[in-house]
Chains A and B, each alone.
Chain A
Amino acid sequence: MSDRTDKIREVARKWLADGTVEAVVGWEQGTYGEKCSPALARTPEDADRLLFNERCTNNLMTYLKRDPVRSMAKVGIVAKGCDIKSLIGLLQESQVEREKVMVLAVTCEGVKKDDGTVPVKCQACDVNTPTFFDEIAGDKVASNPDPEARAKELEKLDAMTQQERNRFWREELDKCIRCYACRQACPLCICDRCIAEKNQPQWVETSPHPRGNFSWNLIRAYHLAGRCVECEACETACPVNIPLMLLNRSMARTVKDAFDYEAGRDPEVQPPLRTFNLDDDNSFIL
């Protein structure tokens, strides 16, 4: 792992020294246990704080929608394969210009959550060695995805009757406190003014009661359908431990079944819910 850190620092230093980028967004040592924290390196000296290890869990692409990074003409971002998938999503939707982002990819064997467990995305990962980048840090890592990892998650839902599933989601979503951590952490939740923040008319009730929570979480899941790359930033951020990935993965499976599409793979292709084809299946309407 330390080779990766050295390479990241080397590249970041170079990009900052020769003005290729205004800043590099990466990770640095955090202040709580072994946690790592997002860092903004603006000078070559700052670059020496950057590192990479298995606790670099944050998806840094979420900073593209926020100042100061949003206003920068050119920025470098250190990214794992899963993070790059969300960048591809942003590129598909023309939310970011390719020229703006210098991708400093890093090969990755998987990260660990705060509780020491390995996220499902890492178990299912096939982008351990990213192919979309400007520079890459680390030796090639072979991908060994567990083909059942994502499906296994959904077995719990599949085993439920519709009534049970309804009750399950009502109980889980009742916990929601409308902190919008899910939305803030998500790199693909990019609306300047979220639908939940509009009040003329009030599309989504802002109150954290069951009806409002159901509204919000379902709308968010729908807005992400076909776009979510399952980076798990939302579920990781959620302070009340709602199993958001169950919802998002379920939507992703439906999209795969209906459109044979997986998000975050090819920047040249449009997500299926953002476009149409004349020979789309219409049988569900009839």
Chain B
Amino acid sequence: MENIYKPYLVRIEEKRTETYDTTSFKLAFLDDDMRENFAYHAGNFGEYSVFGEGESTFCIASSPTKKGYIECCFRAAGRLTKSLAAKEVGDVIGFRGPYGNRFPIEDYYGKNIVFVAGGIALPPVRSVIWNVLDLRDKFEEVTIVYGARSEADLVYKHELKEWEERGDVNLVQTVDPGGEGPDWKGQVGFVPNVLGEAAPNAENGIAVLCGPPVMIRFTLPVLRELGFRDEDVWTTLENRMKCGLGKCGRCNVGEIYVCKEGPVFTAAQVAQMPNDF
């Protein structure tokens, strides 16, 4: 019987310092076969190991349309993430996954999509963004509203540039009031307000939303007002996870195991959950 706790070995191919405390990695499986054939979906997460320190849970930030590597992006906040952040290109770490459920991309075909993300919550949304952009003609209008506390807190800055320059995406960047630098060309304002002003088309619309709880709380009413139904607003729920396999008993929100039946949920599903997250 295989060992479900045994990670794959991956090598850090690229390391980027996104912000003063956030790092992103591009990881390649050491095993050739895995590298060729590893398959996953937008929304899946993994358990990333530094052997000797432990494991930590992050989403797979790359899109499954890109082959040969996976990406992750994390803030150095605890023991494992700090040691991960100290790793360099060429170092080998562990990866277990893919775990969890997925964004049902096929259900979004033919629809208008708005992506709303705040700060460090861009990575899970980014996975869907690239999945959509790599299949661009299957979708209608694509809007991205992304903000952070300040310019320094924006992640994947080089990709923001790329999205801005594309003609088939409406990117709205914003920073909180006071967070703008002298050369800032984007909006200034909290994400929910900026979203309201951007007023993406809610008819036949899907929203993919990710951010800190306070941002979600204020963004949902804006989406509703714009005409998005709760069943069409998709988000990911962060909860403390450890095994990713539905066994360690840590991540449940009421009867829902976030590692098995999540982390992707609709706003309608989240509204039904008990106050346990």
Binding between chains A and B: yes
Q: Residues on A close to B: CB < 8 A?
A: 199-200, 202
Q: Residues on B close to A: CB < 8 A?
A: 78-79, 82
Distance (whole angstroms) from the CB of A176 to the closest CB of chain B = 21
**Residues of A contacting B78 with CB < 8 Å?**
199-200
Q: When chains A and B are docked, how far (Å) is the Cα of A187 from the Cα of B277?
A: 30
Q: When chains A and B are docked, how far (Å) is the Cα of A200 from the Cα of B82?
A: 10
Distance (whole angstroms) from the CB of A31 to the closest CB of chain B = 27
Residue of A nearest to B83 (CB): A200
Q: When chains A and B are docked, how far (Å) is the Cα of A199 from the Cα of B79?
A: 7
Q: When chains A and B are docked, how far (Å) is the Cα of A199 from the Cα of B53?
A: 9
Q: When chains A and B are docked, how far (Å) is the Cα of A202 from the Cα of B52?
A: 11
Distance (whole angstroms) from the CB of B174 to the closest CB of chain A = 34
**Residues of A contacting B79 with CB < 8 Å?**
199-200, 202
Residue of B nearest to A199 (CB): B79
Q: When chains A and B are docked, how far (Å) is the Cα of A25 from the Cα of B79?
A: 39
Distance (whole angstroms) from the CB of B187 to the closest CB of chain A = 37
Residue of A nearest to B80 (CB): A199
Residue of B nearest to A201 (CB): B79
Q: When chains A and B are docked, how far (Å) is the Cα of A199 from the Cα of B83?
A: 12
Q: When chains A and B are docked, how far (Å) is the Cα of A200 from the Cα of B53?
A: 10
Residue of A nearest to B54 (CB): A199
The 6 A-B residue pairs whose C-beta atoms are closest, nearest first, are: A199-B79, A200-B79, A200-B78, A200-B82, A199-B78, A202-B79
Distance (whole angstroms) from the CB of B196 to the closest CB of chain A = 39
Q: When chains A and B are docked, how far (Å) is the Cα of A128 from the Cα of B79?
A: 49
Q: When chains A and B are docked, how far (Å) is the Cα of A200 from the Cα of B54?
A: 12
Distance (whole angstroms) from the CB of A204 to the closest CB of chain B = 14
Distance (whole angstroms) from the CB of A196 to the closest CB of chain B = 15
**Residues of B contacting A202 with CB < 8 Å?**
79
Q: When chains A and B are docked, how far (Å) is the Cα of A200 from the Cα of B78?
A: 8
**Residues of A contacting B82 with CB < 8 Å?**
200
**Residues of B contacting A200 with CB < 8 Å?**
78-79, 82
Distance (whole angstroms) from the CB of B77 to the closest CB of chain A = 10
Q: When chains A and B are docked, how far (Å) is the Cα of A271 from the Cα of B267?
A: 56
**Residues of B contacting A199 with CB < 8 Å?**
78-79
Q: When chains A and B are docked, how far (Å) is the Cα of A199 from the Cα of B55?
A: 13
Distance (whole angstroms) from the CB of A206 to the closest CB of chain B = 11
Could you list some 6 contacts between A and B, CB below 8 A?
A199-B78, A199-B79, A200-B78, A200-B79, A200-B82, A202-B79
Distance (whole angstroms) from the CB of A160 to the closest CB of chain B = 38
Distance (whole angstroms) from the CB of A259 to the closest CB of chain B = 38
Distance (whole angstroms) from the CB of B55 to the closest CB of chain A = 13
Q: When chains A and B are docked, how far (Å) is the Cα of A14 from the Cα of B252?
A: 45
Q: When chains A and B are docked, how far (Å) is the Cα of A16 from the Cα of B215?
A: 43
Q: When chains A and B are docked, how far (Å) is the Cα of A202 from the Cα of B54?
A: 12
Distance (whole angstroms) from the CB of A193 to the closest CB of chain B = 13
Distance (whole angstroms) from the CB of A151 to the closest CB of chain B = 45
Q: When chains A and B are docked, how far (Å) is the Cα of A238 from the Cα of B79?
A: 30
Q: When chains A and B are docked, how far (Å) is the Cα of A29 from the Cα of B99?
A: 49
Distance (whole angstroms) from the CB of B137 to the closest CB of chain A = 48
Q: When chains A and B are docked, how far (Å) is the Cα of A200 from the Cα of B77?
A: 11
Distance (whole angstroms) from the CB of A52 to the closest CB of chain B = 38
Q: When chains A and B are docked, how far (Å) is the Cα of A226 from the Cα of B271?
A: 53
Q: When chains A and B are docked, how far (Å) is the Cα of A202 from the Cα of B78?
A: 12
Q: When chains A and B are docked, how far (Å) is the Cα of A158 from the Cα of B26?
A: 61
Distance (whole angstroms) from the CB of A181 to the closest CB of chain B = 20
